[in-house]
Structure 1
């Protein structure tokens, strides 16, 4: 555990590979993430922050050795959360919290012991990304998401407003220069 906390505090963490695409605006960046494996867990409920906390604990247990070979898996960044809003105001939202698997585990990831943790093969996908700092919370994520949607509408680019992602890059112990993001999926030609 100390090794992982140390990695989160003192070194740069491995991240998924992506390519930056035009057009870029001052408000957002366009990225195509390469196909990769992620370890994930899905929760249902109404509160994003609570789902992130519970999902993070499950996945942290997995990287600490709660897997078939009891292997320690390096912490990576970002921690993403795919948010699939429910159909109405009283409907539950589905949250999928994920850690990118380090390159060393991409070919053969350790199998999780927890039945609520699973391997996710993400195909290549393109997102519009808005960065922001500080200690993020549900309200900040919502505000940044609205700003990103406004920018995309103003620029007339093709996007899908649901589902969307939140992404956090820093340990809770990092006090300054924090990096958070919201991602909106670029609409594909098939949609």
Structure 2
């Protein structure tokens, strides 16, 4: 656990590889991510902040050794939350919270002991990315999601409104220079 906290506090974390494609706007970036492996848990609820925290906790146990190899897995970034919104604001949404698996374990990923966790092999994908700082919450996510949609519509870009991703790079105790993102699939 100390190694994971040390990585978050003092060194850069491994991130999935991507290339940036030229964008029509400064409001967003277009990225194409290489195929990669992630560990994920899917949860349902109406409060995204609480669901993300619960999912993070379950995934953190996995990287702390709750897997078939009892292996400690280095913390990576970002933590993604794939959101499939419910039929209306009062309905439950489906959240898939995921950690990127470090490169050295991509080919031989430890299997989760928790049956709710799955190893996910993501194929190459392209996303429109809106980056914003500060602490994030459900309201901020909704606002930034709508801003990204507005920018893409203004630029007459083809994109998928659902699902969307809420993405975070920083631990909750980092106070300054925080990085958050909203992703929409091309």
1:117-156 matched pairs, under 5 angstroms: 117-156=117-156
2:68 matched residue in structure 1? 68
**Structure 2: tracts of 5 or more residues without a match:** none
Compute the displacement of 1:91 (Å): 2.9
**Is structure 2 residue 85 aligned with structure 1 residue 80?**
no
Compute the displacement of 1:24 (Å): 4.5
| Whole-Å separation in 1 of the counterparts to 2:166 and 2:92 | 18
| Whole-Å separation in 1 of the counterparts to 2:15 and 2:172 | 18
Compute the displacement of 1:114 (Å): 0.5
| Whole-Å separation in 2 of the counterparts to 1:81 and 1:3 | 24
On the 8 A contact 1:24/1:30 being kept in 2, the answer is no
TM-score (norm 1): 0.95
2:41 matched residue in structure 1? 41
On the 8 A contact 1:130/1:144 being kept in 2, the answer is yes
1:1-191 matched pairs, under 5 angstroms: 1-186=1-186
On the 8 A contact 1:76/1:99 being kept in 2, the answer is yes
| Whole-Å separation in 1 of the counterparts to 2:22 and 2:165 | 20
Residue correspondences, number: 186
Compute the displacement of 1:164 (Å): 0.3
TM-score (norm 2): 0.98
Compute the displacement of 1:23 (Å): 2.1
Compute the displacement of 1:172 (Å): 1.3
What SS does the aligned partner of 1:141 have? helix
| Whole-Å separation in 2 of the counterparts to 1:3 and 1:49 | 26
| Whole-Å separation in 1 of the counterparts to 2:163 and 2:45 | 15
**Structure 1: tracts of 5 or more residues without a match:** 187-191
